[in-house]
Amino acid sequence: MTAARKKKKSVWKKILIAEIIVLIAVGLVALYVLVLNKTPAFEFIGRFLSPVEGSESIKDRRAESTKPFMLTKNQKYYKSLTGPDSINVLIIGTDVDGTNYDTLLLASIDEENNLVRLINIPRDIYIDYSDEVLGRLKKAFPKYTSSKGIFKINAAHTIGRLIEYNKGAGRFQKPEFDFTCDIIEEVFGVYIDDYVYMKPSSFVRIVDYFGGVDIEVPYRMKYSDPLQNFSVDLKKGFQHLDGKQAEGFVRFRQGYDENGKFRGIGDLERKKNQINFVKAFLDQHMTLGNIGKIITIAGDLDEYVISSIDRAQETAEYGKLAEKLYRNKFATQSEEIECEDITINKVYYLKLKTESE
């Protein structure tokens, strides 16, 4: 895969919210003390002290997807990614101008096996939309065929918004999120319990807030793009990264190696680096000693995310689940989506391995 084929506008990656969800949820055990004088606190305490397990409460909230029509031409990934009892949260990160979903990270919580699976969905995956979707898209945006990359999964939210998908009837009440989550359920067979949308410009601040991270840099990373306000200069080897350096680590997809030779690593390799970063952050900051920091950052959460987890009761459910995972010393595991390079109308895509193959 050449660097030219993979070069794209804006490569903002902000997947760190995956572990922030878990960290904040654990911290909520103590957070209620600080907000006791607010009405939602009573909802939080009531749910947290309930004998019902957090995961069971989350699953009890599940509502059957109300898709008004098929979204794809029966496009199905060839294998299951999660178990039916897993809790699945979709973490979304955008490019620098907020146009495309630059990161789609599925955090699947397997309580029975005390495991958190991190499944990074490549943004270039080709979605084979149904005639119904295409017909509605043509009506809303007649020149859609001239929009490069419109069939990539990272543009699904744009289609959902344009066709006003399931307006007023979707479980999240937001067409862009409802459409994206229903696409993932239809193609991958994974029910999305909740989503977390990470706002641009917060990655560096969050990493610095927790004191950075120690990680193995797999190769020389050196690249600069003033137009994107992006630069990275990391040597190969184990080292401590602050927020700005961590941003370079997770965004890097092309640059100069130890010998000064320009090379590209491609989207899939970058996904591996991002997953490794998430694991390192979890290992180093998922501690009781960080509860104070978690409580403080929770108070400013609106600066960082938009989420379907928006009520005290729902937050407490995740708090109970995260506390149990922490006490049992949970493990993390990454899962790669199998796909291959294809070109359609001179546009680069990734083709999923499907059931029919």
Sign of CA dihedral 232, 236, 242, 247: positive
Q: Is residue 341 part of a domain?
A: yes
Q: Is residue 236 part of a domain?
A: yes
Tell me how far CA of residue 130 lies from CA of 71, 101, 133, 273, 278, in angstroms.
5, 21, 5, 34, 35
Identify the CATH number of the domain in which residue 288 sits: 3.40.630.190
The amino acid that residue 170 corresponds to is: G
Residue 229 confidence (pLDDT): 74
Of the pLDDT bands very low, low, confident and very high (cuts 50, 70, 90), residue 240 is: very high
Show the tokens assigned to 213: 């991270």
pLDDT in tens, 266-312: 777 887 888 788 778 877 876 656 655 655 565 555 666 778 876 55
Residue 115 confidence (pLDDT): 87
Q: Quick one: angle between helices 266-285 and 243-251, nearest 10?
A: 150
Of the pLDDT bands very low, low, confident and very high (cuts 50, 70, 90), residue 192 is: very high
Q: Specify the 3-state DSSP secondary structure of 42.
A: helix
Q: Which domain holds residue 174?
A: 3-352
Q: Which residue has the higher pLDDT, 323 or 81?
A: 81
CA angle, 135 then 140 then 141, to 5°: 95
The number of folded domains in the chain is 1
> Where are any strands of DSSP class E within 228-267?
230-234, 237-241, 254-256, 262-264
Residue 263 confidence (pLDDT): 85
Q: Specify the 3-state DSSP secondary structure of 141.
A: coil
Show the tokens assigned to 175: 């067409």
Q: Which residue has the higher pLDDT, 204 or 193?
A: 193
Q: Specify the 3-state DSSP secondary structure of 197.
A: strand
pTM score, two decimals? Answer: 0.73
**Spatial CA neighbour of 298 closest among 2, 10, 17:** 17
Tell me how far CA of residue 301 lies from CA of 91, 181, 213, 252, 337, in angstroms.
15, 22, 21, 27, 31
Q: Is residue 357 part of a domain?
A: no
